[in-house]
A and B are shown apart, each in its own frame.
Chain A
């Protein structure tokens, strides 16, 4: 019986493993290909995007999707990091957009979440509903008014037009509120008895208790904004101020660097995720549990 159960367990694991590998495939192949030489990549993938020549000859030409490089080399990385200062600049741009958004949104959202989760005021629930609704809307919905607003505030074509809406986005409020709802009122009552004001309570009781929520929020925001494409595309028209995401999408066919560039771009995300996976998953799960 035990053997049968173990075989069952093994088969199920194998099945799930195959599926997992399928999902990991794009990530793994990006990594291994980033270690190939330009020559090898051109030979393997040169046929991409070439349609007519191939069909007319009828020859079976396909890309040669290769797992392992013939010769492992760091050429691509060298090319990027040493010979194209542009890449580093764009990387820096990405960081320059993401870091202020994360810090700003976390601070602003933590304050607001306390009010929504633990304080009573008129119109609280309807205001929260409005916050929630904007979270659900695609970016394009408020594109024009946002553009006009940025113009009026003199933010157009500067990074502020991307950073400020990020700082005040509703997501952080929503998530931290979910975390704070789980804190029992008794703690707050006790602190009030001792004569602490709301700000003291917030700093010394609430914040330490939602530490994992803050960590989860930072990761989720990092993932979300590191990935943004539409906002910088519309609001920043100076190519030297664009983040990497916009630049990378134009890089296909440049076999000397494209995989290394992709790899360096996803590396911070992947490493951060692996490092703080439990926070990430807790954050996602808690935001899904009704408060």
Chain B
């Protein structure tokens, strides 16, 4: 009987359930258990592997893996490309999506339809438009055809440095709608009287934009920047499906590198690269959060 005792304590049970912390852990249990098994523990294991000479029964190797990794040309190239891609595409994305959101927020016909057309690419599976990208960016593709009208020579889009631009274009196509709706939400939260006050005080369109719109969009902008960076890492899927394991040098990203290290079973380099990438992402994210907090204090 004692074994099942915990089942017949309705009185104590009810009281216990009403205590927040205990209830919280019960609600959290399924998620926390699975999260630990599939995310947290693997993550910690990954970091540990990056310091070991061998995954099974290896020894502590200190920073040897990292030293080797940093000496590897293909890693440096991949890290540079990933950084370069984010550094170019995120500001571009920010400017374009903010511009579109501002225009969509003005007096305009068919606003809802236009918004729909901007967001639709977001839900289209990558794999089903790969064929279209190939038709456009091929040596004999539609883009080169259009360029030939203007007497511009063909460009081998996927197999030269221009591949960077292709990836940026695909990234913008896919993600712009996401940021536009985030910005739209931010814009709609700015009270109308702020603009009226600014107008009464004699601020022009320009002043209003910088003095009111941009200031009140700060929180949204930080979120958009973070999401854009995260999404810029996801563009790997497109490049992978378009160009395979070894695309042109200029679009060989960290994820390609990690993928290839996985295939060649170079676990040390892979985990070290992953740990470095995590550090990089954390520095960026915490840096942005810190910046935002500073900015908000400054505003108040």
What residues of chain A have their CB less than 8 Å away from a CB belonging to chain B?
Answer: 5, 8-10, 12-13, 15-17, 19-21, 23-24, 26-27, 29-30, 45, 47-51, 54, 60-63, 65, 108-109, 111-112, 114-116, 119-122, 124, 127, 130-131, 133-134, 136-149, 153, 164-165, 167-170, 173, 192, 197-199, 202, 223, 226-227, 229-230, 234, 244-246, 248-249, 251-252, 258-259, 261-263, 265-266, 269-270, 272-274, 277, 280-281, 284-286, 288-290
Contact = CB atoms under 8 A, between A and B. Distances in A.
A48 B134 CA distance: 8
B205 interface: no
A24 to B, nearest CB: 5
A245 B37 contact: no
A51 B158 CA distance: 12
B237 interface: yes
B126 interface: yes
B237 A229 contact: yes
Interface of B: 14, 17-18, 20-21, 23-28, 30-32, 34-35, 37-43, 45-46, 49, 55, 100, 103-104, 106-110, 113-136, 138-142, 144-145, 148, 156, 173, 176-178, 181-182, 184-186, 189, 219-220, 223-224, 226-227, 230, 233-234, 236-237, 240-241, 254-255, 258-259, 262, 267, 270-271, 274, 277-278, 281-282, 285
Given A149-B37, A227-B126, 13 more contacts: A17-B110, A20-B118, A26-B133, A30-B128, A48-B135, A50-B139, A54-B140, A63-B141, A111-B27, A142-B43, A144-B46, A144-B55, A229-B126
A265 B132 CA distance: 14
Contacts of A120: 20-21, 24
A134 B130 CA distance: 28
B156 to A, nearest CB: 8
A227 B18 CA distance: 41
Nearest to A119: B24
Contacts of A111: 27-28, 30-31
Contacts of B258: 140-141, 143
Nearest to A132: B285
A49 B177 CA distance: 31
Contact of A168 (B38, B103, B133): B38
B241 A112 contact: no
B223 A63 contact: no
